[in-house]
Chain A
């Protein structure tokens, strides 16, 4: 069946360093969504990308959707301790949303 793979599973960074998580689908996606789950919290929707090659920015966060609409990335510039949490991508296909396993980010002050 359709799979959405996300790497890395864990990432430990020093505050101020950059961070990137990657998402790859086995099939072409209609859209990609990104969510953030803070420790002890629930996933919160961050953004949706729909167009091939689309790039969107939210302050220090940059989201990209690949040209083939099979991969995506989330890049955080100059991480802060408030960025701690698990970042999930979710690929949309035929109305279904398939979540990746997430990347858990820890930031050392």
Chain B
């Protein structure tokens, strides 16, 4: 069974640009979660999608947004990039809310 996949692995952008990160969940999983992990820090919850709808959102500004497609894959968009957005962005999926989450390898975003 394929795990959670994310693309790209690395992304380098300049301040003010927009970044798009993609995630494909494990087959059969309908919930997708996005987390930000700045260097050496913990997991900061960004967004939770389930059945195509945004179900919950962490304490992040509106320039962090996303969506979930009918095939349950998901996209995270970060607009007007700032230097402090540099981090590892992790996507996780679960079969349903509250169940264990399976993480992808992450996208390393660097903003210069």
Contact = CB atoms under 8 A, between A and B. Distances in A.
B42 A42 contact: no
A97 B42 contact: no
B102 interface: yes
B98 A43 contact: no
Interface string B50-86: 0000001000000000000000000000000000000
A95 B31 CA distance: 11
Contacts of B98: 30-31, 92, 95-97
Contacts of B41: 101
B12 interface: no
Interface residues of B, number: 19
A88 B42 CA distance: 8
Nearest to A45: B100
Contacts of A68: none
B104 A42 contact: yes
A99 interface: yes
B103 A44 contact: yes
B102 A99 contact: no
A18 B31 CA distance: 36
Contact of B56 (A31, A44, A96, A102): A96
Interface string B87-112: 00010100001101111111000000
A100 interface: yes
Nearest to B102: A45
Contacts of A102: 42-43
A42 B45 contact: no
Contacts of A101: 41-42
Contacts of A41: 105
B100 A42 contact: no
11 contacts: A31-B98, A33-B100, A35-B101, A41-B105, A43-B103, A45-B101, A96-B97, A99-B35, A99-B43, A101-B42, A102-B43
